Amino acid sequence: MVGTPLDMGKPYRPKDHFFEKAKREGFRARSAFKIEEITRRFSVFKKGGKVLDLGAAPGGFLQVIADAVGPQGRVIGIDLVPIRPLGKPQVTTAALDVLADDFEEKLAELYDGPFDVVVSDLAPKTTGIKTTDEARSLRLAMRALELAKSRGRPGGAFVAKLFMGGDFETFREAVKAAFEDVKIVRPEATRGASMEVYVVGLRRRAQPA
């Protein structure tokens, strides 16, 4: 995860219920419970699946995804900062910029096949200026959607975090154009002050020839 959550005025309390639960259960971040809830509700990950996890540091999502796909699966975790190894052979991580011109070329060096699921927990470094933060969040979400269309397989799934804002409907319509079913989720583990939600696209449509 890049940057910090958008806080709308409430004090930041890192050691809340989910923080303590993550510590007890061995998760690297409380965010693990967000992707855990999403996959429980929509069964986005399958045994043996191939998954691209964007904004993966420090690895909370990766822990959940790696267990969901199992040893026969493949998970590529990407973030701007290095991710401490999980010790699971099905997981490969790299420090890359998803907005760089050569990103897809470097991604192909890690894994050149199609992904069953593209997950994005990308978030900008927030400025406190609502419109600026929303625009940066939208740019990252749109980039993740581009990757879901270029590297995701038909019938696959997409999960992306986005700050709610004026252009939210634009993004939802873009996901609807690429996926047969679209869900909007605010996981229970989301902090009360946060403006983030997750857009879940199910059953990616085949791209025109």
Domains defined along the chain, listed by start: 17-204 (3.40.50.150)
Structure-block tokens of residue 139: 């740019």
Phi, psi for 176 (deg, rounded to 5): -60, -35
* Amino acid in position 19: F
Residues in contact with 169: Cβ distance below 8 Å, sequence separation at least 6, in sequence order: none
* 100-134 residue pLDDT tens: 999 999 999 999 999 999 999 998 887 888 888 88
Cβ atoms of 66 and 88 within 8 Å: the answer is yes
Catalytic residue among 21, 23, 106, 161: 161
pTM above 0.85, yes or no: yes
The Cα–Cα gap between 23 and 48 comes to 28
What residues form DSSP beta bridges with 197? 162
Token pair listed for 102: 């050569």
pLDDT per residue as tens digits for the range 46-101: 999 999 999 999 999 999 999 999 999 999 999 999 999 999 999 999 999 999 99
Joined together, the tokens standing for residue 98 give 């998803």
151: helix, strand or coil: helix
Query: Would you call 161 a catalytic residue per the annotation?
Result: yes
